[in-house]
Amino acid sequence: MGMLAGKVTLITGGAVGIGAAFARVFAAEGSDIALCDVRPEVIQYGVELRRAGVRAFGTVADVRSASDIKGFVERTVGEFGGIDIVVANAGVWRPTYPLADSWEKAVDDWDILVGTNLRGVFLTGRAAIPHLVARGGGHIINISTDHICPPEGTSTGGGTRMDIYDSSKWGINGLTQAWARVLAPHGVRVNALCMDATDSMMIRGAVGDRLTDDIVKTWMRPEQIAQLGLDLIAEGAEGRTGENIGAWLGHEVKLPARRVALPSRFG
């Protein structure tokens, strides 16, 4: 029996890339898997997991929609009896540039990027938290970016065309830290994985026509990020919480030493 036998993992953005890798890696450890995505392919991926002997399903849902996410969470609880692990993975990127974008484009970009990357994490967490607490503990893994957790000696922030994207990811930091403090007494650990370039539909779309096999070979693999999440869970109930955990090109992909928790100004 695997480390996650009897556990239920809910994953957003689970049709491809990092989300799909989390499903494969966690299913191999015995977890039941609930997937959502705006891509209809997520349904077939759920079918493939079931054919492989995994208790799983995939459903189309938009993380920007409160009703979609509430329904996804409730279906997960209805089919599997609860939720133990949440991987808030769904995310998008668009190039944004305050010196050139039209007002209409800027507003639309904000709605899409913040709606998916931040509101989606918020809705997913808030819908799932009561069920995690009801199970007596669990894990929330928010998928963020190395732009807010860079290697030592380098500055935060992404490129010049990422003001809205970076804003959405910085917001995840607030949710991660606040939820970690509030949920710690209930046995729920909350952390964020902040990875550098990892092979996914999002980064492939960003590179566009410049994409080559040589470029892809330099990227991290989605399974490496999923394994990092598994290692995080393996720390157990006394493991770290409230941390942004970086994974960077040119560095070993592994959990860093736990940070010393600083006292809060708010008691």
* 45 vs 14: CA distance, rounded Å: 9
Q: Answer yes or no: are the C-beta atoms of 119 and 64 closer than 8 Å.
A: yes
* 42 vs 36: CA distance, rounded Å: 6
Q: Answer yes or no: are the C-beta atoms of 74 and 116 closer than 8 Å.
A: no
| Cβ-based neighbours of 165, under 8 Å, separated by 6 or more | 93, 94, 96, 113, 117, 145, 147, 158
Amino acid type, 67:
S
Would you state the structure tokens that stand for residue 258, as one six-digit string?
């736990």
Catalytic residue annotation = 165
* 70 vs 67: CA distance, rounded Å: 5
- To which H or E segment does residue 218 belong? helix 213-218
* 184 vs 75: CA distance, rounded Å: 26
Token pair 């998916």 is found at: 116
Rounded to 5 degrees, φ, ψ at 229 are -65, -40
